[in-house]
Amino acid sequence: MLIARDIKKTYRRHAVEIRVLNGLNLEVQTGEFLSIVGASGSGKSTLLHLLGILDTPDSGEILLDGKRIDSLPSKERDQLRNRTFGYIFQFYHLLPELSALDNVLMPAYIGHSWVSWWPTRRQWRRRAYELLEKVGLSHRTKHRPRELSGGEMQRTAIARALLMNPRVLLADEPTGNLDAESGRGIMQLLREINRDECVTIIMVTHNLEIVPMTDRVVRISSGRITDDPPLLQPVPTTPLLLAI
């Protein structure tokens, strides 16, 4: 469904060049919950941004359903970003002045003019409410982010990512700022969403403890996806990881 083909990406800061991705190839299947592990600085966030067309590669292609999406005109890219992809970040990126419900509604506000918003506002609010219910926050709809715990903020961000019914969720260290128990709760929620809503999920993380809950694990190293087992620390003996 989503393919990265021979992706190269170099950052330039003053006279310094940092080659981050160096001919990276990856194929993601529809409905899969994939985790990509790698050390800090290995290019995980860079790769996720490229897959979600938040940034463009220096060379190589990103394909969705066989069609190239990295070189689309900006209007079509904006539409894909708003409707096909949902994004989840380590630090939630919620707007502090808005309630949880309004944060969840943000992608719909962005996708509408005032004229097209007004007649549909009740449906959108109902959907946002249902999503907050799904992530276990129906009792927190009016809370602002600073009145929520880390796990609750991430749940709000997940509800926001689902609002437009995306086909692909891209999660960048979604449990990276949470204690172990809240992190497990977030992983269980992502697992449920993947199963119940048929959303493909691509998660990058440096935390190997959470990856056994996903379908497949690959490793990023030296700017590529490698076949080496992702053994960066002692691994729990689960059938999934032993199979890799």
In angstroms, what is the minimal distance from the CB of 210 to ligand ADP? 16
| Residues in 46-65 at the binding interface with ligand ADP, rule: CB under 6 A | 46
Binder to ligand ADP among 11, 91, 109, 118 (CB under 6 A)?
Answer: 11
Q: Please give the Cα distance from 4 to 168 (Å, whole number).
A: 14
Number of residues written out for the chain: 244
- In this structure, are residues 86 and 166 in contact, taking their beta carbons and an 8 Å threshold? yes
Using CB under 6 A as the binding rule, whether residue 41 contacts ligand ADP is answered as: yes
Q: At what angle do helices 74-83 and 100-111 cross, to 10 degrees?
A: 150
The pair of three-digit structure tokens given for residue 15, joined into one six-digit string? 């006279």
Q: Collapsing DSSP states into helix, strand and coil, what is residue 116? A: helix
- In this structure, are residues 187 and 122 in contact, taking their beta carbons and an 8 Å threshold? no
List helix spans (H) across the chain: 44-51, 74-83, 100-111, 114-117, 121-134, 150-162, 180-196, 239-242
Considering the complex, state which of residue 49 and residue 140 has its C-beta at the smaller distance from Mg ion.
Answer: 49
Using CB under 6 A as the binding rule, whether residue 20 contacts ligand ADP is answered as: yes
- In this structure, are residues 159 and 101 in contact, taking their beta carbons and an 8 Å threshold? no
| Residues in 97-126 at the binding interface with ligand ADP, rule: CB under 6 A | none
Considering the complex, state which of residue 40 and residue 74 has its C-beta at the smaller distance from ligand ADP.
Answer: 40
Considering the complex, state which of residue 45 and residue 214 has its C-beta at the smaller distance from Mg ion.
Answer: 45
The pair of three-digit structure tokens given for residue 22, joined into one six-digit string? 């160096």
Using CB under 6 A as the binding rule, whether residue 45 contacts ligand ADP is answered as: yes
| Residues in 81-120 at the binding interface with Mg ion, rule: CB under 5 A | none
- # residues near ligand ADP by CB under 6 A: 12
Binder to Mg ion among 45, 156, 194, 214 (CB under 5 A)?
Answer: 45
Q: Please give the Cα distance from 90 to 107 (Å, whole number).
A: 19
Using CB under 6 A as the binding rule, whether residue 42 contacts ligand ADP is answered as: yes
In angstroms, what is the minimal distance from the CB of 195 to Mg ion? 26
Using CB under 6 A as the binding rule, whether residue 38 contacts ligand ADP is answered as: yes
Site for ligand ADP, rule CB under 6 A? 11, 13, 18, 20, 38, 40-46
